[in-house]
Amino acid sequence: MQPPAPSSGLLSQEDRYRMLVDAVFDYAIYMIDTAGIVCSWNSGARRIKQYDEAEILGRSFSLFYTEEDRLAGLPQRALSIAATSGRFEGEGWRVRKDGTRLWALVVIDPIHAADGTLIGFAKVTRDLTERRQAEEALRRSEQQFSLLVQGVTDYALYMLDPTGIVTTWNAGAQRIKGYTPDEVIGQHFSLFFEPADAQAGMPQRSLDIAVREGRFEGEGWRVRKDGSRFLVHVVIDPIRDQGGVIIGFAKITRDVTDSVMAQTALKEAREALYQSQKMESIGQLTGGIAHDFNNLLTVILGSLGIVKKRLSGDGKTVSLLDNAIAAAHRGSSLTQRMLAFARRQELAPEPVDVGTLIRGMSELLGHSLGANISVDTRFPLLLRQVFVDAGQLEMAIMNLMINARDAMPNGGNIEVSAREAAFWRSPESTEEPFICISVADTGTGMDEATLQRAMEPFFTTKGLGKGTGLGLSMIHGLAEQSGGKLVLKSQPGLGTTAELWLPISKVASEPSPIANETLPRIAALPTQQLKVLFVDDDPLVVLSTRAMIEDLGHRVLTASDGDEALALIREHNDFDLVISDYVMPAMSGSELAEQISRLRPALAIIISSGFTDTVSPLAQRLPRLPKPFNQAELARAIASIGS
Instruction: Return the higher-pLDDT residue of 16 and 111.
Output: 111
**pLDDT for the residue numbered 314:** 67
Is residue 117 located within the same domain as residue 225? Answer: no
Check whether residue 395 and residue 446 sit in a common domain: yes
What is the percent of the chain with per-residue pLDDT over 70, rounded to a whole number? 76
- On the question of pLDDT at 642 being above 60, the answer is no
Beta bridge partners of 253: 156, 234
Same domain, 393 and 470: yes
Closest C-alpha among 287, 290, 279, 288 to residue 453: 279
What pTM was estimated for this model as a whole? 0.40
pLDDT category at 465 given cuts 50, 70, 90 is very low
Closest by CA to 501, choosing from 443, 437, 439, 558, is 437
**pLDDT at residue 179 in the model:** 93
* The predicted structure's pLDDT at residue 57: 93
Q: Highest mean pLDDT: which of 136-150, 281-295, 400-414?
A: 400-414
What residues contact residue 394 under an 8 Å CB cut-off, 6+ apart? 357, 361
Confidence band of 209 (pLDDT split at 50, 70, 90): very high
Q: What is the mean pLDDT of residues 467-496?
A: 77
Better-predicted residue by pLDDT, 476 or 147: 476
Separation between Cα atoms, residue 166 and residue 186, nearest integer Å: 5
**Is residue 76 a part of any domain in this protein?**
yes
Claim to verify: residue 295 and residue 390 sit in the same structural domain: no
Same domain, 488 and 357: yes
Residue 446 lies in a domain: yes
CATH number, domain containing residue 36: 3.30.450.20
Angle between helices 257-310 and 631-642 (to 10 degrees): 90
**At 406, which CATH number?**
3.30.565.10
- Given 102, 133, 164, the domain boundary residue is 133
Q: Is residue 3 domain-resident?
A: no
Residues 362 and 469 placed together within one structural domain of the fold: yes
For residue 543, what pLDDT band results from cuts at 50, 70 and 90?
A: confident
What is the CB neighbour count within 10 angstroms for residue 397?
21
Q: Are residues 456 and 320 in the same domain?
A: no
**Could you tell me if residue 32 is inside a domain?**
yes
Q: What is the average per-residue pLDDT within 410-415?
A: 87
* Average model confidence (pLDDT) across the chain: 80
Residue at 249 is within a domain: yes
Give the per-residue pLDDT at 402.
80
Q: pLDDT: is 628 or 279 the higher one?
A: 628
Q: Are residues 283 and 166 in the same domain?
A: no
Find out whether 51 and 45 touch, Cβ atoms under 8 Å: yes
Checking if the pLDDT of 42 tops 70, the result is: yes
Give Dmax over CA atoms of the chain in angstroms: 183
- Could you tell me if 128 and 105 are in contact, meaning their C-beta atoms sit under 8 angstroms apart? yes
**What CATH code is carried by the domain that includes residue 289?**
1.10.287
Q: How many domains does the chain have?
A: 5
Q: What is residue 120's predicted lDDT score, i.e. its pLDDT?
A: 92
* Gyration radius of the chain over CA positions: 51
Question: Quick check: 524 pLDDT over 90?
Answer: no
DSSP state of 188: B
pLDDT digits (tens, 9 = 90+) for 66-111: 999 999 999 999 999 999 999 999 999 999 999 999 999 999 999 9
Q: Given this model, what pLDDT does residue 46 score?
A: 92
Predicted pLDDT at 343: 46
Domain range enclosing 453: 349-503
CA distance 324 to 304: 8
Q: What is the pLDDT of residue 474?
A: 73
Kindly state whether residue 622 falls inside one of the protein's structural domains.
Answer: yes
The average pLDDT across 239-250 equals: 90
Residue 283: inside a domain: yes
Is 81 part of a structural domain of the chain? yes
The better pLDDT of the pair 338, 540 is held by: 540
Query: Which DSSP string corresponds to 441-501?
Result: E-S----HHHHHHTTSTT---SPTTS--S-HHHHHHHHHHHTT-EEEEEE-TTS-EEEEEE
Task: Examine the domain organization and report whether 498 and 529 are in the same domain.
Answer: no
Tell which wins on pLDDT, 170 or 188: 188
Question: What was the pLDDT predicted at 67?
Answer: 92
Average of per-residue pLDDT across 328-334:
63
Confidence at 11, pLDDT banded by 50, 70, 90: low
Residue that finishes a domain, picked among 323, 341, 359: 341
Give the per-residue pLDDT at 608.
83
pLDDT range class, residue 317, cuts 50, 70, 90: confident
Q: What pLDDT, on a 0 to 100 scale, did the predictor assign at position 611?
A: 59
Q: Mean pLDDT lowest for which of 3-17, 147-161, 557-571?
A: 3-17
Q: Note the pLDDT tens digit of each residue in 172-201.
A: 888 889 999 999 999 999 999 999 999 999
Q: What is the pLDDT of residues 575-608, one digit of tens each?
A: 999 999 887 888 888 889 889 988 998 899 998 8
Number of helical H runs and strand E runs in the chain: 22, 20
Average pLDDT over residues 482-489: 85
Shared domain check, 163 and 126: no
Q: Please state which of the ranges 32-41, 99-108, 205-214, 438-447 shows the lowest mean pLDDT.
A: 438-447
Are 525 and 637 members of one domain?
Answer: yes
Check which CATH number belongs to the domain holding 606 and give it. 3.40.50.2300
Neighbour tally for 425: CB within 10 Å = 16
Q: What is the DSSP string of 323-353?
A: HHHHHHHHHHHHHHHHHHHTT-S---EEEE-
Strands (E), 207-318: 216-223, 229-240, 246-255
The answer on 122 and 64 residing in a single domain is yes
- Among the three residues 320, 341, 362, which one is the final residue of a domain in this structure? 341
Quote the CA–CA distance of 489 and 450 in Å, as a whole number: 11
